[in-house]
Every structure is written in structure tokens, then in C-alpha cells.
Amino acid sequence: MSNVTIRDIKTILTEPDNIRLVIVKIETSEPGLYGVGCATFTQRPTTVAAAVNDYLKPFLEGKNVADIEDIWQSSYVSSYWRNGPVLNNALSGVDQALWDIKGKMANMPVYDLLGGRAREAAPVYVHASGESHEEVGDKVQAFVEQGFHHVRVQMTTPGYATYGNRGAAAGGDTGTNRNTLDGPIAATSWLRDYDSSKNYAHPGGIFEPKPYMRSALGLFEYIRNRFGYGLEILHDVHERIPPILGVWFAKEVEKFQLFFLEDLFSPEDNDYFRMVREQTSTPIAMGELWNSPHEVIPMIQDRLIDFIRIHMSQIGGITPAKKITAMGELYSVRTAWHGPGDTSPVGHAANMMLNLNAHNFGIQEAAIPGERTREMFPGMPTLKDGMMWSNGQPGLGIDVDEKMAAKFPFKEREFGGAWDTVRRADGSMVKP
């Protein structure tokens, strides 16, 4: 089977549980031999599909499926301009599918092709979000009772939109009848009178950094008082606060001993991580918005982050991810691959191949899949005892039910499903 070639490449677009997923399927010249890969960029899914169908497919048909490295490198430069989220996700779908095929041809799971297992299962963290300390705490308690040891905690800032919880939406409670020293700042008419049929930006609510930071610190104190320090807690800033306030926040959370603080700055502000490292030992995770593998190199070399939080399909798949993982090991920087619901089950299966193989694995984000998703993707990794488990089958160990996928096409979405535009009370945009 050494001369097996790519016969066809197609995309499967589906939305089983309200998240748009893009799967690439490569069929080969060997009857019945195929592979699947994740190419999900949920905010621009049809653009990724066009990149696969209109450009990568004609470029790759007839190539030998064994030549994964050459296929990745030549596809990477085939557009000349490169390292954007659309093209990298398209390339990831192809790359993961080829690794799936290689594993099936060898009758081995991909982690064995990478050198075998360094662990039996991958510890994960789950998400607990709520409107109050007690609601978040009760969700944490439920996860602890299910055997989880790592929980990301997020809470609504009263009167404001907060990542992880929507909070005050544009046109909603703007605090106009409150004392602004205690409650939400009154929003401008730009937000208060929002009309989606006339205005240009998708409303994601109102956000102010200092109320958010005070609220988050109060939540951490509550969780530690209720659960002690045996529970590992994590938190995602999601890049929303000004960088200098991020430095202050990282110092303030040190006493709560977070497992890590995630996405403290936007990618445009990476240099601020140097200030954080000089002033606090709070563990830092970063990377889900990085597109190029080269963006992470100085962050690893200078030990400015502790966890690599890259979205694997965003950088082009398993081939670049394994190289980044190896570099991280040399500098004692651990992996924590991005893994929410818009990482498809195929993407989670790909994450698991590196999680089980890499000595410097740190933690894996876990999304609790819906019933339809579990049915559509047989063989997906399972959660038990606070860990994610692979089934040990050849390749990625996962498949997709195409007939079922076709029953759940993309829904129509306002603004094409764009990421919510969050604004400060004066109307200015907040990243991201």
C-alpha cells in the first residue's frame, strides 16, 4: 500500500448542537481507506470549506498520502500569502486526515506513530459559569462529585457583559437609574438604542474592566473559602482588559494559586508578558488566537508563558503542533490545547494523540458534548474520573456519520455568525 494516493477531498459542514463544525474527509485510491480531520473555524466556516474545495483539493489530488510533511509544506506556501486562520484551518483538516490515514495503514493509533504513550489518559478541566458566587460554586461542586479536579470559573459582573456569561446586553439594563459609583456606568445612546437592522456591529453587551476584575477576585476568594486549595481553579480573561491592568490583575490573583490565568493580553500585546513574568509567579496560558507557529517561538524561548493554549487547527494541524510541543519540552513549557465546543470531536481526537504522547503535556480543556454530537462522531474521546481517554483504535480513532451530519446543516445567523462585538459604556470596542 506504499503508493496509495489522494483520490478525493471533501468537506462536511454540520451543526449538531448549535456550533458550526467543518470536517475534512480524504478518500484514497485504496477502496474503503479514508481519513477525517478538523478544519473548524466556526466564525467563518464556509470560507474554510471554499479554501479546501476550490484550492487544496485540486492541488493535492493524486499525491501520495504517505508524504505528510511534503504535503503540509507545499500546501502551506501554495497560496503564497500564508498563516491566516482560514488557510491554516483548511490545511489542518487535510493534515489531520492524512495522519488518520497513516495510522489506519499502520494499524496503529497516531500517538504510537509519534513515539508511543507517555501517559494512559489526559487530565482535563471543565467550565463552571454563573450569575453569582453560589451558582458558580454549586456547579464546581457538581463537577467535583463527578471526579473532575480542575475547573475554570467565570462569573457575570453585575450589570455588565462578561466572558463566559453574557450579562448586560446592549439596549438592556444600562444602569441609568443607579449610583454609578456602585453600579453599572450609564451607556451611551449608541448602545442603548441599538437597532440591528440599521447598525453595523453585532451587540455583545457592555464591559468595563475594573468592575470585572473586582468581581473575579471576589469569586476566587469565595471558591477558595468554600473548597480550599486542593481544587485546581483556572480563569480566562479573554484579553478584554487594558494591558497594564492585566499586569496588576495577574499580581492580585497570585494569592489564590490559580492553575493558570488564560489569555491575559491580546496577541497584539505579547510584549506585556515580560512585565508579568518580572512581577508575579502566576502561571500564564496563552495562544488560542495565534495563527502562525512562529508566534509562539519567542514566548517559549523566553519562558513568558507556562502553557501553550494554541487551537490546533488554527496553526495547521498535527504536523506543526508536534513541532511546537517538542520545542516546549526543551524549555519546560507545557501544552494545554484549546478545546471548547468549536473544537470538533475530530479535533479533540487529534489533541489527544499529542496529549498522550508528549512528556510536557499539561492539561486539556474539555467540552461536554451534546447527545447528537456523540451520536454523529462515533469513537470520540470519553471523559471519566477527571480525565479524557482515547479508544486506542488505529488512526485518530474517530469517524463521522455523514448521513446524520447532513440532517443538521448550518442555521442562518445574523451577521453571518460573527463574534459578538463587546463595547465599553462610551461605545468603544473591546478586544476581542
Q: Is residue 363 part of a domain?
A: yes
Q: In terms of residue numbers, what domain contains 190?
A: 122-394
Q: Is residue 377 within 8 Å of 398, Cβ to Cβ?
A: yes
Whether 238 is catalytic: yes
The predicted pLDDT at position 190 comes to 54
Q: Is residue 366 part of a domain?
A: yes
Of residues 125, 163, 212, 272, which has the active-site annotation? 163
What would the 3-class secondary structure string for the chain be?
Answer: CCCCEEEEEEEEEECCCCCCEEEEEEEECCCCCEEEEECCCCCCHHHHHHHHHHHHHHHHCCCECCCHHHHHHHHHHCCCCCCCHHHHHHHHHHHHHHHHHHHHHHCCEHHHHCCCCCCCCEEEEEEEEECCHHHHHHHHHHHHHCCCCEEEEEECCCCCCECCECCCCCCCCCCCCCCCCCCCCCCCHHHHCCCCCCCCCCEEEECCHHHHHHHHHHHHHHHHHHHCCCCEEEEECCCCCCHHHHHHHHHHHHHHCCCEEECCCCHHHCCHHHHHHHHCCCCEEECCCCCCHHHHHHHHHCCCCCEECCCHHHHCCHHHHHHHHHHHHHCCCEECCCCCCCCCHHHHHHHHHHHHHCCCECCEECCCCCHHHHHHCCCCCEEECCEEECCCCCECCCCCCHHHHHCCCCCCCHHHHCCCEEECCCCCEECC
The predicted pLDDT at position 181 comes to 52
The predicted pLDDT at position 163 comes to 75
Q: Is residue 63 part of a domain?
A: no
Q: Is residue 200 part of a domain?
A: yes
Q: Is residue 408 part of a domain?
A: no
Can you read off the three cell numbers belonging to residue 223? 471558591
The pTM of this model reads: 0.92
Q: Is residue 43 part of a domain?
A: no
Within 10 angstroms of residue 432's Cβ, the number of other Cβ atoms is: 17
The predicted pLDDT at position 199 comes to 47
The predicted pLDDT at position 287 comes to 95
Q: Give the residue from 66, 14, 97, 2 showing the smallest Cα distance to 377.
A: 14
What are the residue ranges in the chain where pLDDT is below 70?
1-2, 164-204
Distance from C-alpha of 317 to C-alpha of 313, rounded to nearest angstrom: 5
Q: How many domains does the chain have?
A: 1
The predicted pLDDT at position 172 comes to 44
Q: Give the residue from 257, 208, 200, 252 showing the smallest Cα distance to 228.
A: 257
* Domain of residue 336, CATH code: 3.20.20.120
Distances (CA, A) of 26 to 294, 321, 350: 28, 20, 16
The predicted pLDDT at position 351 comes to 99
Of residues 238, 311, 338, 348, which has the active-site annotation? 238
Distance from C-alpha of 129 to C-alpha of 156, rounded to nearest angstrom: 8
Q: Is residue 350 part of a domain?
A: yes
Q: Is residue 13 part of a domain?
A: no
The predicted pLDDT at position 193 comes to 58
